[in-house]
Structure 1
Amino acid sequence: MKFSSPAPETPIPPLDKSSFKKYPIWDFEDIYNQDAPPRHSTCNQTLRNSQDKSFKKAFLPNIRLYLHKDNFNMSEWNRLSHFNNPFGFMGIQYKDVIEALKLIPVPKEPLFPLKPGGYGCVRCAVVGTGGILKGSKMGKEIDDHDYVIRMNAALTKGHEEDVGKRTSVYVHTAHAITASPYFYKKYGYKAAPADEGIKYVMIPEGIRDFQWITGLLKRERVAAGQYRNTRPWTYYSNKFDETHFYVLHPDFLRYVRNRFLKSNNLNASYWAIVRPTNGAFSIFLALHTCDIVSVYGFMTNSYSNYSNYYYEDVKTHVVFYANHDYPLEMNTWKKLHDAKVIRLYQRL
């Protein structure tokens, strides 16, 4: 599909998702913003040296990772308005999110600075909440990485032996950070991780996330929408520092889906809700910011042997929700592991 751009300073009328019976493909679908080349790595084991042909063809090492006030304008709005959330602004009014977009700070430092004595390598562990970790005793191995990335209900207290206790980066949506204390309170979850120096990475899932961002960065109650009157900064355990706050760019999110996790469900009538999981986006964030990536607590072929979550005392079945393609993600992690791009904990 093609489109005609309006005047440079005029937002296009919002596109209606219901006008499309399946995911619409535009002629600029696979074109993404890219930044200056990433830091030069002296790590002999860096995944950027991968010789796997499939990975090399799809991987863009300098894809634009973060959305902020200095890399957004009306032309970008009009382009991104052709893509549904969280890949763009389809169906959203410009006036409803522009305040948030003008507030998002420019990142002051790389997400994962090189640590002294690390032989030039940045080693990251991405830790999901899968039941495969219960009884695994992987905690020390996880904590021995330079950085640890967690997401969603990142409960560690009482489970340190299996999942570790450190959190360097917490990846979340407004829904994840607000709903987790409610849904997982019975397991001991109280709030998002709040380690000293922690960085928070947000996936802008929809308009409610931009309303959240506005309140968060202005230190004001959310003015409208689902989280109206909520005080966002209180959900970060008084550890929120805007210099340690990053918002993932819609181009990065779309690139991850298009190049690595493009589900056949995008051809279904419910295409607009189909997207990779927060955990999937976290893995690909690590692949673009780390040299060596180890993945724990994600779905493998033996998922039925384990409970849904590692913090459950009674075994439950894994729930497959329509908005995520779990088999596709599971097969992708195995493929990346076999290609030696990541190391996937499989408990074999």
Structure 2
Amino acid sequence: MTKQNSPLGKNLWFDGEFLHSFTIDNATYSLFPQATPFQLPLKKCSVVGNGGILKKSGCGRQIDQADFVMRCNLPPLSSEYSKDVGSKTQLVTANPSIIEKRFQNLLWSRKTFVDSVKVYNHSYIYMPAFSMKTGTEPSLRVYYTLEDFGANQTVLFANPNFLRDIGKFWKSKGIHAKRLSTGLFLVSAALGLCEEVTIYGFWPFSVDLHGRFISHHYYDNVLPDSGFHAMPEEFLQLWFLHKNGVLRMQLEQCEPLLQSST
């Protein structure tokens, strides 16, 4: 959302709820950048999902070679993971539900949150503040928290009209779910911003291409709530885009792991 596409007084509907709208007031308007803060088009982009297929992939260096790296839902980027997932970030998403569960809606743990996002350096934190009414307040709190602490990160708010249009588009392609995954929203955004898109960690299955068991995420094996997203359907659509050359999907190891000599 920018001052250009979301002017003062404009009425917008939440994209995740059909009964609620909001009018952009002075306080909210002041939080938007004047225009999209990226030098468009972005050239080479890496979109990094959190799938377990990234574990032991050796893809970190390749991911970081992109001009612009996008990540999903504040993933861990400690040194134990960097060889596989890289360390560079220009934009990372944060769902309000994560702020609620992990940081108690920033009511008590503001410094904990600010310290945890330092790993993303000077990145943008992309939040769907106007998807659900319950997500607006925690999203605004993230903005004010980072500002109060003088943090390096800047919050951008997803435009609900964009999210609604993306949802309609993928529904027309056969994805029927309560809500698209953050990953698919992010890939969709990247395809509109970037000349070249490579996606990593998008693999919703419990075994890899060689039949070996893999964890759900590269950092844990916590399964998602069933019935909310349609991950196999989403993967199929991304695979079609890969086969048609619209994007590149990395599923194999980027660098072979060194074999122990003992």
TM-score over 0.5 (shorter chain): yes
Closer/same/farther in 2, CA of residues 165 and 181 from structure 1, 3 Å limit: farther
SS in 1 for 2:152: coil
Closer/same/farther in 2, CA of residues 245 and 142 from structure 1, 3 Å limit: same
Letter in 2 for 1:208: T
Determine if the alignment matches structure 1 residue 71 to structure 2 residue 71: no
SS in 2 for 1:145: coil
Determine if the alignment matches structure 1 residue 176 to structure 2 residue 103: no
2:236 to 328, 331, 337: 331
Aligned partners of 2:195 and 2:18: how far apart in 1?
35
> Number of matched residues?
237
Residue 131 of structure 1 and its aligned partner are, at CA, apart by 0.3
Closer/same/farther in 2, CA of residues 126 and 146 from structure 1, 3 Å limit: same
Structure 1, gaps ≥5 residues long: 1-65, 115-119, 183-188, 220-231, 267-273
Aligned partners of 1:179 and 1:294: how far apart in 2?
30
1:147 to 56, 68, 75: 68
- Partner residue, 2:32: 105
Determine if the alignment matches structure 1 residue 132 to structure 2 residue 53: yes
Residues 312-337 of structure 1: CA deviation (Å, up to 9, x unaligned): 3xxx4754532211122111110110
TM-score, with length taken from structure 2: 0.75
**What is the percent sequence identity of the aligned residues?**
22
Letter in 2 for 1:330: F
Closer/same/farther in 2, CA of residues 339 and 320 from structure 1, 3 Å limit: farther
Matches within 5 A, 1:215-234: 215-217=141-143, 219=144, 232-233=145-146
Aligned partners of 2:187 and 2:30: how far apart in 1?
27
Aligned partners of 2:53 and 2:148: how far apart in 1?
28
- Partner residue, 1:163: 85
Closer/same/farther in 2, CA of residues 264 and 276 from structure 1, 3 Å limit: closer
Letter in 1 for 2:19: G
2:125 to 200, 219, 229: 200
Aligned partners of 2:252 and 2:81: how far apart in 1?
17
Contact 2:70 2:92 in 1 (8 A): yes
Q: CA RMSD in A?
A: 3.3
Contact 2:46 2:198 in 1 (8 A): yes
Determine if the alignment matches structure 1 residue 90 to structure 2 residue 15: no
Structure 2, gaps ≥5 residues long: 105-112, 254-262
Residue 148 of structure 1 and its aligned partner are, at CA, apart by 0.8
Residue 206 of structure 1 and its aligned partner are, at CA, apart by 1.3
Contact 2:204 2:216 in 1 (8 A): no
Aligned partners of 1:94 and 1:149: how far apart in 2?
29
Greater fraction of residues in strand: 2
SS in 2 for 1:344: strand
SS in 2 for 1:106: coil
Letter in 1 for 2:170: F
Letter in 1 for 2:219: Y
- Partner residue, 1:253: 163
TM-score, with length taken from structure 1: 0.58
Aligned partners of 2:71 and 2:202: how far apart in 1?
11
Contact 1:140 1:164 in 2 (8 A): yes
Closer/same/farther in 2, CA of residues 337 and 169 from structure 1, 3 Å limit: same
Larger Rg belongs to:
1
SS in 1 for 2:215: coil
Matches within 5 A, 1:30-45: none
